[in-house]
Amino acid sequence: MRSPPTGWSGHRINAASILRGPCVAVRAGPAVQTPQPARDRGEDPGMTEEELEKLFLALS
C-alpha cells in the first residue's frame, strides 16, 4: 500500500494547499516565525514589509 503524496513539510497534499501555495509561503515566511527584526540579529533584512506586501498581492 502506497502512502499519500506529501508536501515539503511532510503534510498530505490537498487541492486547497496547492491552490494557496505561493501565498502561504509568503505569509509563513521568516517574518512570521521571528518576531524580532532581522536587523537586530545582525542579519540581512532581505525584503521590506512593503516589498513582501507587493509580492503577496501579485501572487494572490
What does the DSSP assignment read for 40-56?
A: GGTS---S-HHHHHHHH
- 55 burial level (CB within 10 Å; 0-12, 13-18, 19+): middle
Cell of 11: 503534510
Assigned domain for 7 exists: no
Domain hosting residue 27, numbered range: 15-59
> 12, 4 in Cβ contact below 8 A?
yes
Place of cell 527584526: 37
Q: What is the mean pLDDT of the chain?
A: 61
What are 5-49's pLDDT values in tens digits? 555 555 555 555 555 555 544 455 555 555 555 555 555 556 677
50 pLDDT higher than 80: yes
45 with 38: CB under 8 angstroms?
A: yes
Q: How many domains does the chain have?
A: 1
pLDDT-derived band at 56, boundaries 50, 70, 90: confident
Q: Identify whether 2 is part of a domain.
A: no
pTM of the model: 0.25
Which position has the higher pLDDT, 59 or 6?
59
